[in-house]
Each structure stands twice: as structure tokens, then as C-alpha cells.
Homo-oligomer: A and B are copies of this chain.
């Protein structure tokens, strides 16, 4: 007999029962944004591969400029010029200088660059330097950025645009990432019609399939939508078997009625094991989770709001676990505009809208009866009321999770 579990217990169960099951693949750098690194990335060469100036100016030996001032500049013969994109073919002669552009190569023998602002070209082949340079000044040395073997990004990292830049810098134009998971979505219920259809009496449109498809796509999974299955255990079982064969994870949603829930449980048990029957959270209690082999099989609540939160709070973390993805969510502090009551004993999740008032963030809970999809529309985030909390007074500080 499975008991209702707390959210913390469910997350622990997921850690315990599921493990990394990802496969690596190589993708082009231009397609790597948002993908999960399959291995640590180490540089294979020096970046930059030469000593580089960070300013327009003159490469010098610092000691040749020591003590110079506006009044008594150091006068250094101009030995030559380094052109952008070309190596410094010659070494700097002592007590001379070489013109270098920003990003240009600094010749051997030079240990610093004097900015052009602190120099004067006398026009007779000599340059006056009016500010003494410190060794290393205005230079990036070979390998300052990276050197062979330096790990610049770690396995599990979800690649950001900055990371793409760093990969370009070290010449990694093919990136080892974790293959996208394929997740199957099945909606059940005699009352459901496709969103494109006009519901007849007693019917409603299938909200969960398109919503879950969007959530899973946003997460970075491939989605196979198996459409709507009527309340028929044999048909449902057939569809679930097909989905399990084709996918890495399968989400069943709908089936608000007891009969369908029971059917889903029997199907999961016949294919593997049932791990969870009920989460102490509102909305979302009637959630079931099982596995067949290493593949999760989830029975989500039929109410779209409940299906949304269960997916957000438990299923995406589960998929992150399967695909080795470091899923981080940061919350922002806000004050609540209205008091909210809570069910003692069950964590409670609310969608909210956010607005700024005098530099502070205020959250307004979106209210509505259970099952109303419009309590989701236009939300800027959500917050959780702990199961030990009996409610929040107006003005209380809460933590709001924003973003997809």
C-alpha cells in the first residue's frame, strides 16, 4: 500500500529510483544553446596563442620608461609596427618601442604596452613616453585566457550564450551534448476534444496535451503527442505500451475520474512498478508515478493547473535527473498583496502576477476555483506555501519562482 508522500519525499524518491540515462551526441556550436554538456570541456591550446595588447599604443620594456614624466619623457626610437592579425616577426630592441594596435601581438622582449594617450610621436622616428609602465601592463599573455587541459565548462552545464562564446574561443565547433529525451504525452478522458474542435454538451477541450508539449519543449525534450484516448483500459494500455517503446518517459494526463486512475495504476503495475500514489500538495494530490525498466511512467492529475504544477515541481526535475541536466531555479522575494489561506498539512502552490511598486516587487495571487485554466493565463510566476503554514497575511514576504 502506497501512502501519500510529501514533496520532499517525492524528490528523494526520484533521486533514489532514477539515474542518468543520457546518451551523448555531437552538435554544431550554432545548435548548442540550451543543450546539456555530456562531458567536461577542456581547452586543447593556448588562448590567446600570443602575447596580446589590450590597448592602442607602444610595446616597451617597462624599465626603459621608469621615472619618465610629462616634463621629462622617455624618448624611444620607433623600431617598427605590428599589424593587426599578424605576428610580431621581430623582437623588441632594448630602449626602443614598437607600435601595436588593440588586440595586436606584442613582440618578444617587450613586457608592457604604453597607451597612445601617454605618448607623443615626434615625427623624427622617436616616440616620447610620459608615463612609466609597469611590467605586464595593458597586456594579455599567451594562455592567460586558457591553456591546454584547462576545464572551462563542466558536464551537466546547460549551455548559455556566454558559454557558446567561450567554446568558439577555443575552437570547439562541435559540442558533445546529451541527446534530447523523447517524452510521450497521452491525454485520457471521454470528455476531451482536440483544442481545434468545438466541444459539444458535456465536453471540454484537451488543455493538458498542448500545455505539457510546451513545457517539455521549453525544457529541451522532444515530445510525441499521442493525442486523446477514451476511458477504455485496453485502448489505454495499448497506447501506453506503444509510447513506452518509442519514448524515454511517458506522461498520462487527465482521467480525473476514479475509474481511469485505477486503470492507469493497473497498467503501470503490469509494466513495472508503481512508486508513488498521491502527493501532499494542493493542487496535484492525485499523481501517480511508476517505472518500467528505467523509464518513468507518470499519471498526472486531469486539472490543468494541477498537471502544470506537478510537471513543474517533480516531472521536470525527474527529466533533468535522467538527462544529467543541472536545473537551477532561483526565487525572487516579493510581498503579497492579499492574504492567502492555506490547508494545514498540505503544501500549497499558487500562480501569481508580479508588479513593481516603489522599487519593491508585489505578488498578487491568481484566484479561482480548482480546474480553471485561466488561473494559469498571464501568470508571472508561482509561490509555495509550506504545509506547516496556516496562511499568509497581506504584505508577507514570499519567494516567487519566475520564468519557464
A residues bordering B, Cβ < 8 Å? 29-30, 32-34, 47-50, 52, 54, 56, 82-88, 101-105, 140, 144-146, 152-154, 157, 160-173, 189-192, 195-215, 217-218, 231, 256-258, 302, 304, 308, 328, 330-333, 351, 354, 361, 368-374, 376-380, 400, 402-404
Contact = CB atoms under 8 A, between A and B. Distances in A.
A68 B332 CA distance: 48
Q: How many copies does the complex hold?
A: 2
Contact of A302 (B103, B146, B192, B256): B103
A189 B104 CA distance: 11
A146 B257 CA distance: 24
Contact of A54 (B361, B370, B376): B370
A257 B103 CA distance: 8
A32 B213 CA distance: 11
A88 B379 contact: no
Tell me which of A84, A165, A330 has the highest count of chain B C-beta atoms within 10 A of its own C-beta. A165
A215 B161 contact: yes
Nearest to A211: B165
B33 A217 contact: yes
B211 A168 contact: yes
Contacts of A195: 29, 167-169, 171-173
Contact of A88 (B157, B202, B209): B202
20 contacts: A29-B195, A30-B214, A49-B199, A83-B190, A83-B202, A84-B202, A85-B202, A88-B202, A103-B189, A145-B372, A160-B379, A161-B404, A164-B213, A165-B308, A166-B373, A167-B195, A168-B195, A169-B195, A171-B195, A171-B205
B48 A204 contact: yes
Contact of A161 (B144, B200, B214): B214
A162 B103 CA distance: 48
A168 B207 contact: yes
Contacts of A373: 47, 145, 165-166, 169
